[in-house]
């Protein structure tokens, strides 16, 4: 089971990076929704909770985008 979790996490990270590359201006919340839907669809996960946990680990690694926007406005 540990291998499956790692594989799902790796796939989720790839999905996260792909969405970020294809839609660079997309807010973090919208990106999370897209990746969650993809994980549920292709990840063969039994419920949203497991997919959300994987997505949460991935999203937590990403810095928040708010400080960058404030710095760009100055």
Domain boundaries of the chain, sorted by first residue: 2-62
Per-residue pLDDT in tens (0 to 9) along the chain, 74 residues: 444 778 778 888 898 899 989 998 888 888 888 888 887 787 666 667 777 777 787 877 777 665 444 444 44
pLDDT for the residue numbered 44: 64
User: Residue 44 — φ and ψ, nearest 5°?
Assistant: 55, 45
Q: What is the dihedral of CA 61, 65, 67, 70, to 10 degrees?
A: 170
Cα 3 to Cα 10, 32, 43, 48, distances in angstroms: 10, 23, 13, 19
């Amino acid at each position: 089971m540990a291998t499956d979790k790692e594989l799902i996490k790796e796939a989720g990270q790839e999905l996260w990076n792909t969405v970020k590359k294809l839609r660079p201006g997309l807010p973090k919340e919208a990106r999370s929704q897209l990746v969650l839907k993809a994980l549920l669809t292709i990840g063969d996960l039994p419920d949203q909770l497991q997919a959300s946990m994987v997505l949460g680990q991935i999203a937590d690694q990403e810095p928040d985008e708010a400080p960058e926007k404030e710095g760009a406005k100055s």
